[in-house]
Amino acid sequence: MKTLITILALCLIVAVGTVQANLSNVRPVGFGSSSELSLQQVLNNITTSGFVDATNDQINAAIFTNQGSGGAVATFVIEIAGSADSNTFGIYDYFDPSKKAQVFSGLDTAGGQKLISFMANGDIKVNFITVATFNPTVQFGFYLDGPKGTFYSEDSLNGGNAQAVILRGKGAEIQMPGFNPGIFSSDEYIVAFENAPFATADRDYQDLVVHVESISPVVPAPAALALGVIGLGFIGWVKRRFA
């Protein structure tokens, strides 16, 4: 009896971890074509000390929240896609993915920087201009929109396909275009997208690369709560059935 309940509790913990990730553990990163830089080459070009690994520095998270300051800074690293002039990048509301806040457009170039502010009422401001209103419980993912479709950091919104890789800082020194070098710390992330549908994509994840700081990965609350209720109900049934 006690052994069975313990096993169910462990299964619940594993399920919650899966909700947090919502993507595969590591996405194999291609090397691009002979005429394009690979994602690793893009990272090498902005790294001045240490090493940022396009594969091994990936994190198993898709949803984020802002840190205590209420704001996050996004810096445009590079855009290699053929549809660069038409692509847009931004964040979407985890609770309603149809709500999007555009951060960069096709007119932005390497080194462009935007301040994203998260207001108490759910308003999202980009460079102090309100561009969307999210659920006040701030949980967001990243999206890339262009002629070939709209793609999200959550695999489930891409039909289960991996369209983005997210790397977490581990202390290397990097230099954004036009800025002095700085430490790529653990509250900083590089978001790199594939801009074509997964079935036909080259899967090099260097079509658009953005650096975002002052954010943290989260376990999405509704999904985690739902699993918790299901798990507790299941354990209660076992008690009634075998007591």
Residues 241 and 154 in one domain: no
Domain of residue 231 covers 1-22+221-243
Pair 4, 70 in one domain: no
Domain match, 105 and 155 both: yes
pLDDT of 14:
34
CA distance 4 to 175: 53
Q: Is 111 helix (H, G, I), strand (E, B) or coil?
A: coil
pTM for the predicted model, two decimal places: 0.79
Q: Are 140 and 91 in contact (CB under 8 A)?
A: yes
Q: What does the pLDDT profile of the chain (243 residues) look like in tens digits?
A: 443 333 333 333 333 333 344 444 567 676 555 567 889 999 999 999 999 999 999 999 999 999 877 899 999 998 887 677 889 999 999 999 999 999 999 888 899 999 999 999 999 999 999 999 999 999 999 999 999 999 999 999 999 999 999 999 999 999 998 899 999 999 999 999 999 999 988 888 999 999 999 999 997 655 444 444 434 343 343 344 434
Please check whether residues 137 and 17 belong to one and the same domain.
no
How far is CA 18 from each of CA 13, 29, 138, 219, rounded to the nearest angstrom? 9, 22, 20, 9
* Run of H or E including 226: helix 221-242
Burial label, 131 (beta-carbon count in 10 A; 0-12, 13-18, 19+): middle
Number of domains in the chain: 2
If asked whether residues 232 and 122 sit together in one domain, one would say no
pLDDT attached to residue 81: 73
pLDDT value of residue 5: 34
